[in-house]
Amino acid sequence: MTTPVRSSIKLVRGLSLVAAISIVIGNVIGTGVFLKTRVMTCNVDTPGMVLAVWVAAGLLSLAGALTYAELSAMMPRAGGEYVFLREAYGPRWGFLYGWMQIFIAKTGSQASIAVAFAIFLNDFTGGAVGGTLWTQNLLGRQFSLTTLQVIALGAIAVVTLVNCAAVAVSGYVATLLTGVKIALVLGVGIGAFVLTNNGGWNHFALANQGGTCEGVSDAARIGLAGFGAAMLGALWGYDGWNNLPLVAGEVKNPQRNIPLALIGGTIVIIALYVFINLAYFYVLTPTEVASVAKSSSVAAEVAGRFTSPFDGRLLGSVAVSLIAAALMASSFGTLHTSILTGARVPYAMSRDRLFFQNLARLSPRTHVPVGALIVQGVWAGILALSGSFDTLTDYVIFGSWIFYGLTTASVFVFRRRMPDAERPYRAWGYPVVPALFLLVTAWLLINTLLTTPTQALTGLGLIALGLPVYWYWSRHNRANFADIDEIDES
């Protein structure tokens, strides 16, 4: 295996099992659970099919989690998928994964989440923090700085600063924010059953008939195309279950706690998603769900029908404010766990002498990769200002699933190449479960390539741009890193 670089300063295993579970749940539950049901109803028409898609996507994510649990328990090191890909296929594949994460996927996602937080804050304050601060015409293009962008930058800066503290502190913050998320999801769900007067289980026997389906293509409605589109939406809602291995080098008793956190956290998420979707359709008919405005959310429409248990009055604006607060808390929590886990990728690459040397160094006080955190935060801030994050992240979804597939396939590589290696946890259902995940991944990749070839090929091109950078670091800079102290990965 690749020899890591070492020093007397080591990562601290300060993340407990509860913190690890919180990172899994906090990374996954973002805005998808509040926003995606509308589009999915347009895709497949009936509540039963929407619920079936949420369950199917959840089970697929669980299949991936079962496989990642074996890999993480076998190699509990900082970097997660980067480490698995490097050891299975060589440093080039590990670097390309890291390149995509650092410059596009992870930082682009952080920029998007931070801007979403600012938008939800603006909604919560009734539009009080919107507005443009500065506008300038440069080289024939109009550039502007908005209050929302400044708030997004502030959110990135604050969360980055929090994560510069000891990893145990980051774990406590993740636990707190994830607890708030779970409480809000349960609050909306329970409120739907006890604070509404016109709900009914008969809604589950109905189908979408004439819903407006704003922004949903006719080609993505009904049949296999509709099911595929709904699956992609649900998988986006589950995205992030794979992030815990990135901080595997900082989890206490990783051989036990990482598998428990990955599997347990994913099961909790599936249960929460099914519960809140049952609540949605209990209150709204499928046609009403499909007719929710694109600028709103199903959760907001449901909360808008909450009534006071004392006098029966509609809670209206109070409920809408609750949803805005829920979306704010959810996005802020996701931003926290994304910044916490994402910084470990450039850190791991730098240890392998494939990135800037200073990013491989840990803070002597907090034992976290402060340099990697700062670089990640700066780039995410630049993307937030540029407004290009949504386009970039859309382009790399295809590439992300390639790496999911390669990582899952690595369990077969390691079983064959290292049959006697210590495996504290073995993937349940091997080889069927990882093979099933690979088959669905292949279907998603083929479907994406056929339906959105430009987006898929552009994503591959962006990832391929990392090849000349890899050749530069591997051939010309290794000599410059010869004096780096080795850093313990334990």
- The predicted-structure confidence for 80-93, as pLDDT tens digits, reads as follows 999 999 999 999 99
- Say if residue 8's pLDDT is above 80: no
Domain residue ranges of the chain, discontinuous segments joined by +: 17-475
pLDDT average, residue stretch 173-186: 93
* CATH class in words for 17-475: mainly alpha
Q: In this predicted model, what pLDDT tens digit does every residue of 322-358 receive, in sequence order?
A: 788 888 988 999 999 999 999 999 999 998 888 888 8
| pLDDT of amino acid 357 | 83
pTM of the model as a whole: 0.90
| Cβ–Cβ < 8 Å for 207, 51 | no
Q: What is the 3-state secondary structure (H, E, C) of 25-73?
A: HHHHCCCHHHHHHHHHHHHHCCHHHHHHHHHHHHHHHHHHHHHHHHHHH
H helix runs in 125-199, sequence order: 147-163, 167-194
